[in-house]
Chains A and B, each alone.
Chain A
Amino acid sequence: KQEVTQIPAALSVPEGENLVLNCSFTDSAIYNLQWFRQDPGKGLTSLLLIQSSQREQTSGRLNASLDKSSGRSTLYIAASQPGDSATYLCAPLYNTDKLIFGTGTRLQVFP
């Protein structure tokens, strides 16, 4: 069964810290993997997309890495800010055009 696990489930840190959010998936036959951000009561905002052939992608203070063979992806957030507070979701894409979601990491950054 295709499953996604995100660790930690919740994280509370002071402003300025560098953060690591982990995502593991049981089936490594992915086409790509997307990281999303979800604010409370809102929709999903795409942060980064990594193709299965890529090792990492960067956007501003965000960097996502992918190790397809071991079924792992990591989202790094540099110099965290209170505005980064949200739930972060990773979702690998499989052949049936199905995104499989984990339950996310709920991040709180306090001033």
Chain B
Amino acid sequence: NAGVTQTPKFQVLKTGQSMTLQCAQDMNHEYMSWYRQDPGMGLRLIHYSVGAGITDQGEVPNGYNVSRSTTEDFPLRLLSAAPSQTSVYFCASRYSEREVGYTFGSGTRLTVV
């Protein structure tokens, strides 16, 4: 049981480039989310999904796109990378019942130069 798997672990992008951060879970969790973690600011929600085909914006969605075509995968796309998107990105998932908590992936450290 791999849990929540994020790839890549590290990435350096040039300003203006696009890329996709991958997130996959093998726990059949309905809910999946993307957070970014910046020094001194805590983790902030970017986008989330409550099931395949359903996504919604979080607190800081600008510059990011998501889609959820399967229960297992929830990729995060950076359309045109900016230095302000330098951060550590975490994917998380959970069952729909709120009696259970979130499981987080190990993160992707992204640097935009």
Contacts and interface: CB of A to CB of B under 8 A. Distances in A.
Contacts, number: 55
A43 B42 contact: no
B77 to A, nearest CB: 21
Contact of A43 (B31, B100, B107): B107
B106 A97 contact: no
A86 interface: no
A62 to B, nearest CB: 14
A4 B48 CA distance: 20
B101 interface: yes
- Report the interface size class on chain A: 20 to 34
Contacts of A44: 90, 92, 104
B107 A31 contact: no
Given A97-B33, A98-B59, A4 B42 contact: yes
Contacts of A101: 35, 42-44
Given A43-B107, A46-B103, A97-B31, A103 B42 contact: yes
Given A99-B35, A99-B92, A101-B42, 6 more contacts: A4-B42, A32-B101, A34-B101, A46-B104, A91-B43, A103-B40
